[in-house]
Amino acid sequence: MTDDCIFCKIVVGKIPSEKVYESDNIFVFMDINPLSEGHCLFIPKKHAATLHETDDASLAEIPLIIKKVTKALDIDTYNILQNNGTIAHQAVAHTHFHLIPKPSADLGLKMEWDPQDEIDQEEAAEKIRNYMN
């Protein structure tokens, strides 16, 4: 836990939340600024600013619990959002995943996609392959 992290404070109960699930590794609570009904956050209890700094046990559990929550909410259309770093729109420097139900085109996450045709992906692909071997 870090003393200045709002999500760490939520995990230990210093800031109230609408908790929906908790395990040894993760904490799930309703978003206080929801985009749609059922919008909730999934966070590791152990502080990590970004996904690549997050412990494997938490990262393994979060998708399984997201799946259970989608079934509990009986939703078929939804977004799962996870950002890393301020220029990637991460507002709280504690790894978190949003589950945002998308009941209609008017509610939920709105996205803009701007493909860059001039980017050559070969070098990045080679870096990934080399790292994985």
| Residues annotated catalytic, as ranges | 96
The single residue listed with the structure tokens 């990045």 is: 124
59 vs 46: CA distance, rounded Å: 11
Measured CA to CA, the distance from residue 108 to residue 99 in angstroms comes to 10
Q: Which residues contact 20 (CB under 8 A, 6 or more apart)?
A: 28, 29, 30, 40, 69
Which two structure tokens, joined as six digits, stand for 87? 């220029």
Neighbours of 94 (CB within 10 A): 23
133's tokens? 């071997």
